[in-house]
Structure formats: C-alpha cells, structure tokens
C-alpha cells in the first residue's frame, strides 16, 4: 500500500502525502511497465490491481528529426497519446476507478472537455461500471460517438463546461456516484504525477531542466510538480524542473493571471480555439497551477491558433507523433518559451504531448444515450429506466 500519511489543503487542492523513502520506487529496469509500478507512492492498497486496462509506461521519444529542426539536441517528447484512449486522462481514470472497484461503487461520473469523458467511458466499460458524463453542448462529435459506443450516458449542458462540472459534482453527491472530476478528486493528481516518475526514470534517473505542458483545468501540470517534488522528498532527485504552462491565446485565463493583466473577451472564448482540451474558462485548480509554475521557476505562455495547428503538423512530420491541437500545445509554446528566456536551446527539455485526435469506428453515435439537460432531476428522469447502474 502506498503509505499515505496525511491529506493537506494546498492552493485549493487536496494533497496526499506519504512516508517518503527512496525504496518506494523500484530499482529494476523492466523493458515495459505500467503506472502501477509506482504504487508505493499511490493510494492503492496491497493486492492485485483490478483495473483491467494497461495504463502509463508511455515512451519518452528522442525525436531526432524534430531535434534537428528546432536546434535542440536534448529535446524529448513524452508521448501520452500511447495510453488506451490516446490521452493522459487514462491515468486519472484508472486510479479513480481502481478505488471505486475496491469500494464497490457501480457508477462513475465526470464532466469533461472531451478526453476525460472518453477515458472514463472506456475505462468504466472495461471495469463493468456505468459512466454518466457531462459535457458542454459544443463537445466534439467524434468524442461523443466514442462515449456512447462505450455505453456511457452523456448529458450535454448548454451553459457550458463550468455548469457541466457543477451538475456532475452535484450528481455524485446526490446519487452516491464515484466523482472523477478533475481537480475535485485528489486521485486525479496522484495518478498524473506518475508521468514525472516515468520521465525521471527514462532519462536515467535524471530530472530534465524544463517541461512544457498544456494547461486546461490544471491537474496535469500540478501533478507533474507534485511528482518531481516527491522524488526530491524521497531523496532521489535534488531539484524540480522548471514548468512552462501553455494555453491557447483565445482562452488564456491563467496566462493573463500569471502576467497580472486582465483578459479581454477575445482571450476568454473557449469555443474559439481548436485546442478544446485546454479551453477552460475557470480552471478548477488555477491557483495551484500558478503556485507550481512560480515555485519551479518557470512561466506561462499563450499560443496562436496558427502555432497550434502548425505544431500538430510538425509533430506528425518531424516526430511521427499524431496529436490533436491541445495535445500539441507544448510544442506550439516552445518558441515562445525560448523567446521569453524560459528555456534555452541547449537544455534538456521535455514536451508533454497529451492527446491524439480519435475516431469512432463502427456504430454511429447512439442518440438515445445523449440528452440535453440543465438540472439534476432531468438527469434522474433520463436514467430512470436504466438498470445498468
């Protein structure tokens, strides 16, 4: 069992702490592994892992052609698109469901900009749970198709993502469902911090100088910081890397807050960017993001739509990595980070590529499993005849 000793509040999030010790991270060098390799630093009791899909253990790619193109001999790509549903959201889903299976829950809920919903739908299907998903009305159709294909119930909320979060959290409280909402469930951060452990191991037990990371609600970046801080607490590393958070110019609440400047309306328009995964108006743990970036000595940068799309092309053409715009945001932000002096071309820098565009093959979207709602009683009514939960 990961020896969780305390849970403290930090910059608006719940933070689990352990009895830190170097022995909590294994020393062997297996050719392949999963996220559960780090269960010494995860809240997972002893005994076999029940979650059935393989999660984590994603490659750290040297990307030689990309290195040459950008003139950075120590540039790396941490390719999180290799997870089962092609995004880093699979990690958080796995740990939350693992906990739910042990507690005997039958239904999991989350709100999502898309990828967490797909990960939750597939993860729940594999684990035999019912998934009840809340998304904004403009959620990508391909992603909706994947959710219903995996048998999830999907509720679209016209008032947008923040309202979808409120409904999902309210449903979890009211109906006793497992709450996977990012930032609300501390296990989402626990799971995503394993990326830091992997990068450190894959670099030969070294911490990179900097990591560039897309930021939506914030857990991906905050978790990385926690993971590296835990390596320091275990006596395995001497420092944390600088963290550079990237948002789209068209939805950049945290970049503006970082710069201490008010955002104009054109900078707070989630529907106006192709990077839907990071298009979050009120990030769930924004204060914790700013705190982590500050403490790491990093910064926040915003990128244009053109830079996002060009990063998608460059990742495909120079690194052989397929990414969606939000997933490619780290590469899009690299130039700006260099311009601002946040990163030097000679340094060891890791770009976190968080997600890939996905296609729903097979059955078309099952409209019978999708409803537009505003209130919880409408959710209850829509699910009334469903006996799967």
Ligand X SMILES: Cc1ncc(COP(=O)(O)O)c(C=O)c1O
Task: Please report, as ranges, the residues that interact with ligand X according to CB under 6 A.
Answer: 87, 113, 115-116, 182, 214-220, 277-278, 324, 326-327, 354-355
- Residue number with CB closer to ligand X (188 or 234): 188
Least gap, CB of 99 to ligand X (angstroms): 19
Judged by CB, which is closer to ligand X: 221, or 379? 221
Which residue sits closest to ligand X, CB atoms considered?
A: 277
Provide, rounded to whole angstroms, the least separation between the CB of residue 310 and ligand X: 17
Query: Exposure of 213 by Cβ count < 10 A (0-12 exposed, 13-18 middle, 19+ buried)?
Result: buried
Contact 316, 309 (CB under 8 A): no
Shortest CB 116 distance to ligand X, Å = 6
Spacing of C-alpha 373 from chain mean position: 26
Exposed e or buried b per residue across 181-209, where buried means at least 16 C-beta atoms within 10 angstroms of its C-beta? bbbbbbbbbbbbbbbbbbbbbbeeeebbb
Q: Which is nearer to ligand X, 223 or 234 (CB)?
A: 223
* Least CB distance to ligand X at residue 106 (A): 25
CB of 284 to ligand X, least distance (A): 7
Minimum CB distance to ligand X, residue 313 (Å): 17
The residue among 243, 246, 253, 238 whose CA lies nearest residue 205 is: 238
CB closer to ligand X, 24 vs 226: 226
Closest to 288 measured CA to CA, from 331, 334, 354, 229: 229
With H, G, I as helix, E, B as strand and everything else as coil, classify residue 87: strand
Nearest CB to ligand X, comparing residues 25 and 285: 285
Query: Which string of DSSP letters, residue by residue, matches 196-265?
Result: HHHHHHHTTS---SEEEEE-SSSHHHHHHHHHHHHHHHTTS-S-PPEEEEEEETTB-HHHHHHHT-PPPG
As a whole number of angstroms, the distance between CA 65 and CA 86 comes to 23
Minimum CB distance to ligand X smaller for 101 or for 274: 274
Gyration radius from the chain CA atoms? 20
Quick one: 189 or 207, whose CB is closer to ligand X?
Answer: 189
Q: Least separation, in Å, of the C-beta of 212 and ligand X?
A: 12
Q: How far is the CB of 92 from ligand X (least distance, A)?
A: 8
Query: Which CB, 21 or 269, lies closer to ligand X?
Result: 269
Q: From CA 133, how far away is CA 147, in angstroms rounded?
A: 8
- Compute how many other C-beta atoms are within 10 angstroms of the C-beta atom of residue 46: 7
Q: Which residues are 133's β-sheet partners?
A: 110, 154
CB of 19 to ligand X, least distance (A): 27
- Rank residues 42 and 165 by Cβ distance to ligand X and give the closer one: 165
DSSP 71: T
Alpha carbons 129 and 152: distance in angstroms, whole number: 9
């Amino acid at each position: 069992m990961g020896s969780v000793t305390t849970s403290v509040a930090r910059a608006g999030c719940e933070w689990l702490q352990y009895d830190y010790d170097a022995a909590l991270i294994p020393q062997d060098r297996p050719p392949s592994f999963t996220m559960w390799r780090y269960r010494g630093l995860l809240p997972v009791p002893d005994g076999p892992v029940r979650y059935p899909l393989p999660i984590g253990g994603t490659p750290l790619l040297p990307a030689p052609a990309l290195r040459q193109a950008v003139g950075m001999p120590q540039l790396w790509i941490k390719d999180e698109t290799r997870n089962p549903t092609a995004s880093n959201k699979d990690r958080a889903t796995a740990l939350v469901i693992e906990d739910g299976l042990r507690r005997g829950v039958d239904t999991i809920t989350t709100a999502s900009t898309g990828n967490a919903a797909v990960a939750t739908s597939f993860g729940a299907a594999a684990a035999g749970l019912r998934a009840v998903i809340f998304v904004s009305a403009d959620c990508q159709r391909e992603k909706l198709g994947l959710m219903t294909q995996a048998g999830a119930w999907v509720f679209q909320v016209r008032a947008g993502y923040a309202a979808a979060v409120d409904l999902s959290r309210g449903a979890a409280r009211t109906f006793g469902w497992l709450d996977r909402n990012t930032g609300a469930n501390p296990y989402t951060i626990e799971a995503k911090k394993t990326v830091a452990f992997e990068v450190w191991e894959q670099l030969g037990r070294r911490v990179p100088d900097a990591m560039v990371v897309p930021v939506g609600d914030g857990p991906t970046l905050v978790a990385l910081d926690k993971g590296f801080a835990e390596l320091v607490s275990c006596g395995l590393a001497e420092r944390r890397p600088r963290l550079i958070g990237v948002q789209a110019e068209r939805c950049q609440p945290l970049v503006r807050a970082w710069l201490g400047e008010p955002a104009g309306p054109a900078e707070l328009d989630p529907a106006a960017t192709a990077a839907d995964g990071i298009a979050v108006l009120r990030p769930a743990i924004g204060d914790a993001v700013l705190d982590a970036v500050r403490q790491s000595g990093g910064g926040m940068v915003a990128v244009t739509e053109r830079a996002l799309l060009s990063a998608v092309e460059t990742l495909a053409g120079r690194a052989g990595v397929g990414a969606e715009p939000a997933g490619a945001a780290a590469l899009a932000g690299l130039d700006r980070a260099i311009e601002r002096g946040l990163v030097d071309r000679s340094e060891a820098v890791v770009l976190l590529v968080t997600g890939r565009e996905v296609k729903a093959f097979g059955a078309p979207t099952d409209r019978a499993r999708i409803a537009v709602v505003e209130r919880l009683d409408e959710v209850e009514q829509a699910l009334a005849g469903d006996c799967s939960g």
